[in-house]
């Protein structure tokens, strides 16, 4: 149930939380001041303010832990994407500087980047999993890099291990990204947050059994704050799920550094412009 709620679009997620806590606030108000239950509820009069304070301290600590978990995962997702982009860029630069035929590696990088941005990002947003096309493109890239070798006697043979190591770093960054897209805060944590918010409403009702207006004011302020906080934190739960998500732009920018098949490289274009 918690997972289904977290997978909702932001407007529906907000309306669900607002509707639930508004309904409980109305129910508690009617329970406290409705004629059938008024006398019974007054028998609980005498609760002290420390009751509400204790619950709010626990609620604040727990919501802080959940928010820290969510935002730390978002930060690590951004780092994983930037690392993947940086390693792809480095792989392209190393291939060009290695003295080896770089067309195969460049083509494999373009195919991988296209699969990630066009297939894998929507897949992560919808299901939290990677795309088979990106997996295949990455495998092809690793095979091409591993097969692109200098002669053992070549002075530039040291590039071989460096090229392969950089390609493996791309694989590692992608693995981190996939794990973060699938992971979420434990449902038990969110269940505790939601239950404690409801307990806070009950404690407010217990503290304001005598007068309607203070009861109503305290309940509206508390409920509005809880709804906003919970909805905003929950909106960031999935680092690759809309509406607030980590963009694929850093990886997509790699395509601008790699000439299309058949196009002249920047070095070749510069040489041609000088008539060399």
* Rounded Cα gap, residues 86 and 92, in angstroms: 10
Q: CB-based burial of residue 34 (10 Å sphere; 0-12 exposed, 13-18 middle, 19+ buried)?
A: exposed
Minimum mean pLDDT range among 58-72, 137-151, 155-169, 241-255: 155-169
* Rounded Cα gap, residues 114 and 254, in angstroms: 10
CB atoms within 10 A of CB 60: 12
* Rounded Cα gap, residues 189 and 73, in angstroms: 15
* Rounded Cα gap, residues 12 and 6, in angstroms: 10
Residue 142's pLDDT is 92
Token couple for 257: 């550094």
Return all residues near 192 (Cβ < 8 A) that are at least 6 apart: 62
* pLDDT, tens digit (0-9, with 9 covering 90-100), for 13-40: 899 999 999 999 999 999 988 888 888 8
- Which pTM value belongs to this model? 0.78
Q: Quick one: average pLDDT of 113-123? A: 93
Q: What's the per-residue H, E or C state across 186-238?
A: CHHHHHHHHHHHHHHHHHHHHHCCCCHHHHHHHHHHHHHHHHHHHHHHHHCCC
- Asked whether 138 and 152 are in contact (CB, 8 A), the reply is no
- The DSSP output letter for 243 is S
* pLDDT, tens digit (0-9, with 9 covering 90-100), for 158-199: 677 888 899 999 999 999 999 988 755 578 889 999 999 999
- Asked whether 203 and 185 are in contact (CB, 8 A), the reply is no
* Rounded Cα gap, residues 230 and 131, in angstroms: 31
> Which residue ranges make up each domain of the chain?
2-263
What average pLDDT does the structure give for the chain?
84
């Amino acid at each position: 149930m918690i997972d289904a709620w977290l997978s909702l679009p932001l407007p529906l997620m907000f309306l669900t939380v607002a509707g639930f806590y508004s309904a409980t606030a109305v129910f508690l108000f009617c329970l406290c001041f409705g004629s059938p239950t008024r006398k019974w509820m007054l028998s609980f009069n005498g609760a002290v303010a420390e009751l509400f304070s204790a619950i709010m301290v626990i609620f604040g600590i727990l919501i802080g832990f959940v928010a820290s978990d969510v935002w730390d995962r978002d930060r690590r997702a951004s780092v994983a994407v930037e690392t993947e982009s940086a390693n792809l860029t480095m792989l392209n630069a190393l291939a060009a500087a290695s003295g080896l035929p770089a067309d195969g590696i460049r083509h494999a990088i373009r195919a991988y980047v296209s699969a990630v941005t066009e297939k894998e990002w929507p897949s992560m947003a919808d299901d939290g999993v990677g795309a088979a096309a990106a997996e295949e493109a990455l495998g092809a890239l690793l095979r091409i890099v591993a097969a692109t070798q200098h002669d053992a006697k070549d002075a530039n043979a040291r590039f071989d291990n460096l090229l392969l190591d950089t390609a493996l770093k791309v694989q590692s960054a992608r693995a981190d990204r996939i794990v973060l897209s699938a992971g979420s805060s434990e449902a038990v944590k969110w269940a505790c947050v939601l239950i404690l918010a409801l307990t806070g409403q009950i404690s407010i009702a217990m503290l304001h059994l005598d007068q309607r207006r203070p009861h109503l004011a305290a309940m509206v302020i508390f409920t509005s704050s809880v709804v906003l906080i919970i909805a905003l934190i929950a909106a960031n739960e999935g680092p690759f799920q809309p509406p607030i998500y980590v963009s694929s732009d850093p990886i997509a920018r790699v395509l601008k550094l790699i000439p299309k098949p058949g196009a002249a490289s920047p070095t070749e274009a510069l040489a041609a412009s000088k008539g060399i």
